[in-house]
Amino acid sequence: MMAPASPGPVFIDTHAHLDDPRLASDLDACLERARAAGVLTIITVGTDLASSEAALALARRHPQVYAALGIHPHEAASVQPADFRRLAELAREPKVVALGETGLDFYRNLAPRPVAEAVFRQHLELALEADLPVIIHSRQAHDAALDLMESFSRRPPGVLHSFDGPLGTARRALDLGLHLSFTGVLTYPNAERLRQVAGQLPLDHILLETDCPYLAPQPHRRKRNEPAYVVAVAETLAQLHHLPLADVARITSQSARRLFRLGQATG
């Protein structure tokens, strides 16, 4: 990894969408601002085959960027068999560190549930074949997503990204060996329930993410999010766990490196 611009805590943004057009005009500047803030590693995440290929291209171009490849549940209805053959081929690339984002979304329901569940299952099977963790999208679908994972006698490790569920769901996910990641939503004034959950979870199973360009933290709310802002999520976790920011940075970064095997991913 690159050294930070100045001494200080080192953070990992485990979920960004750097290929989004809203970041295109100043992506290099965004990456420099991230480096200056101590965010030295970013995982950029695909949501369909085209964005997965774009994520991998960005990872090849930028030393601090790694890629996750997958098809978002919103896109599940349009998946073709050739898409998974291509994902399997790309998953062998050294800078690919996860499959996803995949999962279930019963909020928008843009794909029939049986189709979405089948595509999610295919991602889990591919993750096992490729020996990669999964990044899971679950919106109003936590029980169904965890039920599907439980149906596997052997399941890949992974993370429930942008977690917003209750404590019972969080503990069930942890029992399945999953991590939980939090976005800028954790900083919102109306997110007290979520903060109560995050404060009761073991910090070594929590990851940081921006989900940029979405979900910017306070005081950037309703503006474009970017990787540098993941520090605000870490600051909130530090307050909740009554720890110095440096400890939160160290523990969450160690967990991210272990889950995504970032020390082994090179390009």
Instruction: Tell me, letter by letter, the H, E, C secondary structure of 9-78.
Output: CCEEEEEECCCCHHHHCCHHHHHHHHHHHCEEEEEEECCCHHHHHHHHHHHHHCCCEEEEECCCHHHHHH
Alpha-carbon dihedral 162, 248, 220, 198, rounded to 10 degrees: 40
Supply the Cα-derived Rg of the chain in whole angstroms: 17
Which residues sit opposite 231 in a β-bridge? none
* Cα–Cα separations (whole angstroms), residue 112 to 51, 116, 121: 22, 6, 14
Query: What are residue 66's DSSP bridge partners?
Result: 43
Confirm if 66 and 44 have CB atoms less than 8 A apart.
Answer: yes
H-helix or E-strand containing 137?
Answer: strand 134-139
Whole-angstrom distance, CA of residue 205 vs CA of residue 203: 5
**3-state SS class at 103:** strand
Which of 194, 183, 179 is closest to 258 using CA atoms? 179
Amino acid at 49: L
Paired strand residues for 42? 13, 65
pLDDT (0 to 100) of residue 1: 46
209: nearest Cα among 39, 22, 29, 20: 39
Strand order, beta sheet including 178-182: 11-16, 39-45, 65-69, 96-105, 134-139, 158-160, 178-182, 206-208
Helices (H), the chain: 21-24, 27-37, 49-61, 81-90, 113-130, 142-150, 167-175, 192-199, 230-241, 245-260
Mean pLDDT by groups of 10 residues along the chain of 267 residues? 64 98 96 98 97 98 97 94 96 97 93 96 97 97 97 97 98 97 98 98 98 96 96 98 98 98 68
User: What Å distances lie between residue 96 and 127, 219, 224, CA to CA?
Assistant: 11, 33, 26
Q: Are strands 206-208 and 178-182 parallel, antiparallel or unpaired?
A: parallel
Residues pairing with 67 in the sheet = 44, 96
Q: Could you give the domains of the chain? A: 11-260 (3.20.20.140)
